[in-house]
Structure 1
């Protein structure tokens, strides 16, 4: 079966990594899966034209109901969709987007949510048949590069010299140009905070391994792969207390949650001073990922769902 997989493919992002992983699951079952960036298309008509070219695609998948799923509304082959956090956390608040997402969900053969919470939110905000929404957490596999070096971040600052552990390194690509400029301006005048830019997944994992903790400060998440990767690598997680994070970070068991700057500082200090707490979080986090986020179950789920497209 020849499949099209549409997703937002900004380099070295979680979306890109997730899309590549799902494509590998599909192709390991003997199918052909062509990955395309949703941003490359201006309309659903363009995707419909691509689908019909020879040899034609026999099915399609999209990650994010609005950004990518909306581009599948005019195709004549069966398709499935995968929720991203933005779908339920943000897009449903905009009536025009919500209506489009309902149309996508109605036409889709199946939908995948990363958590039970996301499925419940979809049932609440979208006119959907809950029986077509499957829950499948992200599968995690970590690989550490031995070439990554921190030297470039260890700039001279009094604050860093007093306590080398008090350094915040922000790693990631510049997605929003305006916001990126704001962040860079703040970082330039803040001692002990450094921007690392985008890194390959293996370099990112190497950076995580050298950290005292991995912080997730997002205000909107579906399921953070970075959190799960940190757990798998044996690094404690400190995350903002939002539904997407709380679904995988169980406070004081698999990680720590915070809701304010003051609480962030308090929880950070606990990690620094309480070795028993840190060891418990590392141990429980590793077990949690192994039990709930294995690649095998994720692979089996997507291969089974793709088979439903064959029977259309």
Structure 2
């Protein structure tokens, strides 16, 4: 089966990482996955041109109902959609976008939400059938590389402590950009660390927004 997969492929983002994981899963199941950047599609003719270049599409999938799913509305193949945080947190606030998203969800064979709360929000905001949305958690198991040094990692992160084993470290992994708001927990963790020095909060990720990254570094240094 040939599956067309549309999503935002901006480098160093969760979307890009999630899309790659899904693509690998689809191909491991014996199917062909044609992964394309939804940002490259501006007009309906762009989708038509893609289908001309890639004949024999049997099914389609998209991450984000508006960014990706809207491009599937004119395809005469079954498709599914994966909810992104932007869908239920931002795009539903725009009436025009929400109307499109409702059409996409109505036509989709299924929807996938990463959490129970995301499923509940989608059902409430987009008036979806409960049975159409499945929950598939994103959690994965990771292991440190054999040559990884926890003490060296903490030292490079600016943590100077002799009692490494006693530290309670919270690690936030995200690209440094304002929409992710990595500073949201900073004040609370700063106060917690002041009373309990063994509690450490580390933010790690690429500097996607240089101006905001500078703001983050300045706040952390304070």
TM > 0.5 = yes
Query: Which residue of 154, 172, 189 maps to 1:264?
Result: 189
**TM-score w.r.t. structure 1 length?**
0.52
Equivalent in the alignment of 2:118: 118
Question: Structure 2 CA distance, aligned partners of 1:274 and 1:37?
Answer: 40
Matches within 5 A, 1:130-141: 130-141=130-141
2:197 is paired with a residue whose SS is helix
Matches within 5 A, 1:219-238: none
**TM-score w.r.t. structure 2 length?**
0.71
**Contact 1:5 1:36 (C-alpha < 8 Å) held by counterparts:** yes
1:268-298 deviation digits (Å, cap 9, x = unpaired): 44663369xx9xxxxxxxxxxxxxxxxxxxx
Question: Structure 2 CA distance, aligned partners of 1:147 and 1:23?
Answer: 29
Question: Structure 2 CA distance, aligned partners of 1:72 and 1:7?
Answer: 11
Equivalent in the alignment of 1:214: 171
**Contact 1:215 1:239 (C-alpha < 8 Å) held by counterparts:** no
Q: Which runs of 5+ in 1 are unaligned?
A: 155-159, 166-210, 222-237, 241-257, 279-312
Equivalent in the alignment of 1:85: 85
Equivalent in the alignment of 2:208: none
- Answering whether residue 198 of structure 2 is matched by residue 273 of structure 1, we say yes
1:238-292 deviation digits (Å, cap 9, x = unpaired): 995xxxxxxxxxxxxxxxxx5x72x2312344663369xx9xxxxxxxxxxxxxx
**Contact 1:4 1:61 (C-alpha < 8 Å) held by counterparts:** yes
Question: Structure 1 CA distance, aligned partners of 2:196 and 2:112?
Answer: 35
Q: Which runs of 5+ in 2 are unaligned?
A: 162-167, 202-222
**Contact 1:48 1:72 (C-alpha < 8 Å) held by counterparts:** no
Q: How many Å apart are 1:213 and its aligned residue?
A: 3.2
1:147-205 deviation digits (Å, cap 9, x = unpaired): 9997xx78xxxxx6xx747xxxxxxxxxxxxxxxxxxxxxxxxxxxxxxxxxxxxxxxx
Count of matched residue positions in the alignment of Structure 1 and Structure 2: 187
Question: Structure 2 CA distance, aligned partners of 1:110 and 1:239?
Answer: 35
Structure possessing the higher relative contact order (Cα contacts under 8 Å, 6 or more residues apart):
1
Q: How many Å apart are 1:12 and its aligned residue?
A: 1.9
Q: How many Å apart are 1:128 and its aligned residue?
A: 1.5
2:122 is paired with a residue whose SS is helix
Q: How many Å apart are 1:45 and its aligned residue?
A: 3.4
Distance 1:103-1:137 versus aligned 2 partners, 3 A rule: same
